Amino acid sequence: MEEAKGLVKHIVLAKFQDDVTTEKIEELINAFANLVNLIPPMKSFHWGKDVSVENLHQGFTHVFESTFESTEAIAEYLDHPAHVEFGNLLLSNLDKILVIDYKPTS
Q: Are 90 and 28 in contact (CB under 8 A)?
A: yes
At residue 93, does pLDDT exceed 90?
Answer: yes
Q: Is 80 a catalytic residue?
A: yes
State residue 58 phi and psi, 5-degree precision.
Answer: 55, 30
pLDDT of 1: 47
CATH architecture of 5-102: 2-Layer Sandwich (3.30)
pLDDT at 36: 97
Q: How do the domains of the chain map onto residue ranges?
A: 5-102
Q: Which of 3-7, 55-59, 80-84, 90-94 has the lowest mean pLDDT?
A: 3-7
Kindly tell me the sign of the dihedral angle through the C-alpha atoms of 65, 68, 71, 76. negative
Q: Looking at per-residue confidence, does 6 or 99 come out higher?
A: 99
For 19-58, what is each residue's pLDDT tens digit? 999 999 999 999 999 999 999 999 999 999 999 999 899 9
Helix, strand or coil, per DSSP, at residue 87: helix
Question: For residues 3 and 5, what is the distance between their CA atoms, to the nearest angstrom?
Answer: 7
Count of residues in the chain: 106
Q: Which of 3-7, 29-33, 66-70 has the lowest mean pLDDT?
A: 3-7
Residue 59 to residue 61: CA distance in whole angstroms: 6
Secondary structure E strands in the chain: 5-16, 44-49, 62-70, 94-102
Which residues face 8 on adjacent strands? 68
Catalytic residue among 46, 80, 83, 102: 80
